[in-house]
Structure 1
Amino acid sequence: MSYTGRIFIILSVIIAILSFVWILLYQLLKENVSNILEPSEGYVFDYIVVGGGTAGSVLATLLTKHSNSTVLLLEAGDKFGFISKIPLLATVLQKSVNDWSFLSVPQRYSSKGLHDQRQALPRGKGLGGSSQINFMLHFDGYDKDFDRWKQMGLREWSSKIMKPFIDAAKPKSDEYFKIRRHYSKLAEAFDRAETDFEHKPWNFRRAKYTVRRGYRWGVYQKYLQTVYGKWNLKIITNAVVRRVNIKNGLAESVTVGIKDDDGKETKFDFKASKEIIISSGAYQSPQVLLSSGIGPKNFLQKIGIPVQNDLPKVGKNLFDHMNLPLFVSVAEKTSINADALLSIREVLTYFTTGTGHFGNFGVIGNVDSMEEKSGSMLFGVGAIDESALMSISNFKREHFRALFPLYYNSTQEGFVIISTCLQPKSRGSVVVRNDNVRRNPLIDPNYLAEIEDVNCTIRAIRNSIKIATSDAFAILKPKIHWPKIKECSNFGPFERDSKWNQPSDNYLECILRYVGLTSHHPGGSCRMGLTKYDSVVDQDLRVHGVRGLRVIDASVLPTPLSGNPNSIIIAIAIRGAALIIKSNKDK
């Protein structure tokens, strides 16, 4: 058996032991959630929140805390287990029961090095949603992102108006872990680079994780758990919302499907006396609307869904960030690799102090250029586990090995520098085959359809090269490993590319279209706007043409955010809760 195989077995044994210990502890210290409700016909609540992910958990919490109204939270998944709490093991839950495990439709302009040219699109399934499987990176956002919305006519969403909500979403001093200068030699190099490039209009951000005492501190922990036991909150898990029912222009109830242990589904109708809020995320909020007959009239009629509200932009305007990762080997001990993780000292350090490699996800920091709309991220991982990453990314083997040529060396030191266009122009869509929400929606991010996205990413790559080959990193003796992809061989990499690290634009475009990967930052599919002809919701996040129905989650973003979106989605949910409470206080 290979060394890598033995490492994988040992890691599996460690995870199994930890899981067994957690199950024992869980049974002993089992959380008594009095809010869990057995489904039954005839329930009436003031508010019904569809989706217990990032936005839905925040909304349910705030509506419960700050009103005397009754709240029903419907979640299609269940709870997450202990593994989700350990920051470094974030990707372990991908392709598990806590992941929707979506795949994009085959991509025309990208993903050529992936099976069937389909990107893997993980989404959290369970209370807390994707905030339970993400990389926990906190980002305050940039004023320019919100002021761009203001220029589009969305004056209620300017940076000035959003600031108090963004401040409210910030983790407190004991709710985050920030990478310090002396965390590693890579972190020290990142810190020196900020000085070296002070003449550039670049913003260096050391990674800040929403981690508390070494464990994930997402919306489930920070928000939802705080209202367990409140009389006015009820939660039904494993509940799939099949349809929002509209009568005389008012959203009055939802039809929910719940399966028993034998897989037989029973449907229930739950009524809302005030509002229904869809918070199912960028892929599933449009799915819920379309399956309910809220969307483009001609399309709905074509697939046999009765039309309740003709709304042309539902499922349109989908966007996402696309990354190009490049592996950089170094001569200094500075990164996460299999040997480091299997160190008894490392494991004991984490479980006794909550620090060390297991206490974060390895991202050291970001470098953003708002002028060039490009970004770079340093990911301090040396040895890349082939079987694990290929499984969750959908890579073909030969293209994975081209990207990570030292995949076989479990002791390899290095880092991955990731280049991104922060404001992509390409737009995709989410559509459904029929009204069965248990069938995955057809998700087409349409990556790299616009040539400006390619040019923007190439600018980001060249900035990344400058950082990795700067004097600040010289002490690490970095070597960029340019992917040797057969289909790109006419463009490089040539000997001079490895020597000077200045490959042609044609080569960079080619590898981007073959091995570029999603950032998992989808949004825009129920965008906010001024009319039903250019958007799905108005500035108060109310669905055009339907009273008592809002969408509040990443799907309402008009344009991309220039970084990790999770904390901004929390801020939007806080703002949404305030809008809901204000509009219903006199009812």
Structure 2
Amino acid sequence: MKTVESIILSSALLFISLQLIEAANPFDYVFKRAAEENQRDREKRQYVPKDNSIFDFIIVGGGSAGCLLANRLSENPRWSVLLIEAGGNENIVHDMPILAPNLQKTDSDWQYQTTPQENACFGMRDRKCSLPHGKVLGGSSSINYLYYTRGNMRDYYNWAALGNYGWSFPEVFHYYMKSEGAYLKGLEQSPWHNRTGELSVEFVEFRSEIAKYFVKGAQDAGLKSVDYNGYSQLGVSFAQATTRNGHRASSSKSFIEPIRYSRKNLHVINYSTVIKIIIDPITLTALGVEHVYKGKVYSVHSRKETILSAGALHSPQLLMLSGIGPGENLQRVGISQLVELPVGQVLYDQVTHFGPVFTTNTTGSTLFGNTITQKDLDQYFAGSAGTRISSTAGFETLAFFRTRNSRTPTDVPNIEIAMGAVGLASDGGTTFKTAANFRDDVYQKAFSELENRDHFTTIPVLLYPKSKGSLRLRDRNPFSPPEINPNYLKEQEDVEFLLEGIKEAIRIAETPSMQKINATLWKRNVPGCEHLKFGTDEYWRCSIRVLSYNFYHYIGTCRMGPHTDPMAVVSPELKVRGVRRLRVVDNSVVPTMPAGHTAAVALMIAEKAADLIKQEWEQNYKININT
């Protein structure tokens, strides 16, 4: 006998199927439904604290770190917690991993760009690379490509060696474990994974034929099959992704949705932009924040702490807007300085090269948008994790290796290769190209002939960039984007490491396993490099500067360090130097780049910060009770 729930589900799936039959493109219904969800989300009544309301903790930014931190702090029923997010809530498009590129250049993305780059982004409009940054509850975890990587254990020993006590690998490892709920087939007994945390981590069930051959090819080339979140990172693996049964498991879904309405001491407000931290100019104590909701300015105050979790681009911007930062920049835009700190003077990001690209003799293995069928959608809505819709935007495998010219220890990679049965041409030069800001002529001359032809893309990622950038205020308007100059490829060493990454991708493609699908290097000179012979080192050096790309792994703008570190903005306890009751808890505090993607790093930081905050204020509570 059918349950009421199963009847409702069957009726919903029938309705969806009927809607899709009428759609010219299977995703037409999905995008229409997403637009309707967004409209309802904006129109519905939500909790808005009265002006001058008081909370124990105010968290600015509902991204990866902010969502987890709000969850952990609200575990104490005596503490009231306010989480403020500038964006809205997720919709059906966020849920589908294959549609990650479609979320860039939307209301869920701040849509920032770099300043014109002198040494990179030559293939982009105005030499500006895109800088995706989540503007939605869940932050970048709601719009990213869902990779879950922790970096190399030596990264954290290096943090501690810089004077960041409490941040060595053994001291942070259990914080990674705490939030993780691993459903990784073959690793069920691994001591490197936890299976009880809120954040679901899976191997993506859908695997293209090309991806399977690539893993075998990497093994032919000498790379071991590894759990790159285990003891050894060097090797190749199918991607570990933050999905639950093939659906995106964002920080919002994992840490906020389950408790948002059951914990009465947790208050979440969407569509509200924080414009300033309220700081007592005499005592230099953070008292709360000013935020704008529907055109009206509200003030909210904190009894205990104000916490910035707005990400590596917005946390430094808010500090500077509030008078905390380098005097030269603040004076230039007309902001009175309260505290001199090197906010925004360090910015690192992992630059990549979009390619090499290879053709294959397979049929239907590349994830072209027109290969998604109504059947795929029906199966996805019915709960199947094995359809193309659950693919992490087509990028399915990761390979970590150490190049011959690397300066890292022998057990530490300096290049990662992300491989996807996808490319700029797999969507007809629309979404991917627009999201990355590639010029039309770059696409037409180098990639357009690949439309409707099976191919795959390899993207070498520079794990430890030497080139250092910066972030500055453009003006004193809190709604203006900051000036962001990552200084991509300023250091020639970065180009040389990426060159070795390109060669490694080609070496893998030439292995016997890859030749079973006739993997063939796509030889089209990119604009600006026509004068060079394709495939030479000089050609690739030129191409690296044209096809510069990034995975939005921004760090360091509110760098963590001891008092002896002249570039430190926060202490190892994540407290802003010179200001009381103000912390930064997000990837802006990361002192040096980890060897991997940074979404998981933000969660680890938030877990540790939650313990630091609890220890301090619970101890204060016990002292007050005893006295």
Q: TM-score, normalising length from structure 2?
A: 0.84
- Counterpart AA for 2:72: L
Deviation at 1:347, TM superposition (A): 3.0
1:241 aligns with 2:274: yes
Task: Show the 5 A alignment for 1:75-94.
Answer: 75-94=85-104
Moved more, 325-334 or 104-113: 325-334
Q: Residue 321 of structure 1 corresponds to which residue in structure 2? A: 350
Q: Residue 250 of structure 1 corresponds to which residue in structure 2? A: 285
1:54 aligns with 2:64: yes
1:119 to 112, 116, 129: 129
Deviation at 1:346, TM superposition (A): 2.9
What per-residue deviation string (whole Å, max 9, x for no partner) do you get for residues 433-468 of structure 1?
Answer: 232211111111110011111111111111111111
1:187 aligns with 2:222: no
Question: How far apart in 2 are the matches of 1:414 and 1:542?
Answer: 49
SS at match of 1:401: helix
- Counterpart AA for 2:252: Y
Question: How far apart in 1 are the matches of 2:480 and 2:38?
Answer: 33
Deviation at 1:405, TM superposition (A): 4.2
SS at match of 1:579: helix
Q: Residue 287 of structure 1 corresponds to which residue in structure 2? A: 317
The two structures, once aligned, show a CA RMSD in angstroms of 2.5
Deviation at 1:194, TM superposition (A): 4.5
Q: Residue 454 of structure 2 corresponds to which residue in structure 1? A: 413
Task: Show the 5 A alignment for 1:99-498.
Answer: 99-173=109-183, 175-179=200-204, 183-198=207-222, 202-229=234-261, 230-247=263-280, 248-259=283-294, 265-311=295-341, 313-326=342-355, 327-333=357-363, 335-338=365-368, 341-352=371-382, 353-361=384-392, 362-370=394-402, 371=410, 373-381=414-422, 383-407=426-450, 409-410=451-452, 412-493=453-534
What per-residue deviation string (whole Å, max 9, x for no partner) do you get for residues 229-261 of structure 1?
Answer: 2111112222211111222121112111222xx
Question: How far apart in 2 are the matches of 1:460 and 1:147?
Answer: 26
SS at match of 2:577: coil
- Counterpart AA for 1:545: G
Question: How far apart in 1 are the matches of 2:274 and 2:141?
Answer: 21
Q: Is the 8 A contact 1:179 1:187 kept in 2?
A: no
Q: Is the 8 A contact 2:419 2:458 kept in 1?
A: yes
What per-residue deviation string (whole Å, max 9, x for no partner) do you get for residues 83-117 of structure 1?
Answer: 11111111212111111111111111111111110
SS at match of 1:240: strand
Provide closer, same or farther for how the CA distance between residues 389 and 188 of structure 1 changes in structure 2, counting only shifts above 3 A. Answer: closer
- Counterpart AA for 2:506: I
SS at match of 2:430: helix
SS at match of 1:116: helix
Question: How far apart in 2 are the matches of 1:27 and 1:320?
Answer: 34
Task: Show the 5 A alignment for 1:518-533.
Answer: 518-531=550-563, 533=566
Question: Which sections of structure 1, spanning at least 5 residues, go unmatched?
Answer: 1-9, 260-264, 494-502
Deviation at 1:146, TM superposition (A): 1.1
- Counterpart AA for 1:57: C
- Counterpart AA for 1:354: A
Provide closer, same or farther for how the CA distance between residues 563 and 569 of structure 1 changes in structure 2, counting only shifts above 3 A. Answer: same
Q: Is the 8 A contact 1:291 1:434 kept in 2?
A: no
Q: Residue 572 of structure 2 corresponds to which residue in structure 1? A: 539
- Counterpart AA for 2:68: V
Provide closer, same or farther for how the CA distance between residues 20 and 455 of structure 1 changes in structure 2, counting only shifts above 3 A. Answer: closer
SS at match of 1:176: strand
Deviation at 1:389, TM superposition (A): 2.2
What per-residue deviation string (whole Å, max 9, x for no partner) do you get for residues 492-530 of structure 1?
Answer: 21xxxxxxxxx3322111001011111211111111111
Q: Is the 8 A contact 1:178 1:209 kept in 2?
A: yes
Question: How far apart in 2 are the matches of 1:553 and 1:19?
Answer: 31
Deviation at 1:401, TM superposition (A): 3.0
Question: Which sections of structure 2, spanning at least 5 residues, go unmatched?
Answer: 1-21, 185-199, 225-232, 403-409, 621-627
Question: How far apart in 2 are the matches of 1:516 and 1:341?
Answer: 28
Q: Is the 8 A contact 2:159 2:591 kept in 1?
A: yes
Deviation at 1:344, TM superposition (A): 3.5
SS at match of 1:448: coil
* Aligned residue pair count: 558
Q: TM-score, normalising length from structure 1?
A: 0.90
Question: How far apart in 2 are the matches of 1:55 and 1:117?
Answer: 31
- Counterpart AA for 2:306: I
Moved more, 539-548 or 90-99: 90-99
Q: Residue 573 of structure 1 corresponds to which residue in structure 2? A: 606
Deviation at 1:128, TM superposition (A): 0.7
Q: Is the 8 A contact 2:216 2:513 kept in 1?
A: yes
Question: How far apart in 2 are the matches of 1:390 and 1:20?
Answer: 22
Q: Is the 8 A contact 1:340 1:346 kept in 2?
A: no
Question: How far apart in 2 are the matches of 1:572 and 1:351?
Answer: 34
- Counterpart AA for 1:224: I
SS at match of 1:586: helix
Deviation at 1:334, TM superposition (A): 5.8
Question: How far apart in 2 are the matches of 1:26 and 1:150?
Answer: 44
SS at match of 1:39: coil
Q: Residue 108 of structure 2 corresponds to which residue in structure 1? A: 98
Question: How far apart in 2 are the matches of 1:249 and 1:339?
Answer: 54
Q: Is the 8 A contact 1:403 1:515 kept in 2?
A: no
- Counterpart AA for 1:249: L
SS at match of 1:223: helix
Provide closer, same or farther for how the CA distance between residues 49 and 256 of structure 1 changes in structure 2, counting only shifts above 3 A. Answer: same
Give the fraction of aligned pairs with identical amino acids, expressed as a percent: 28
1:504 aligns with 2:515: no
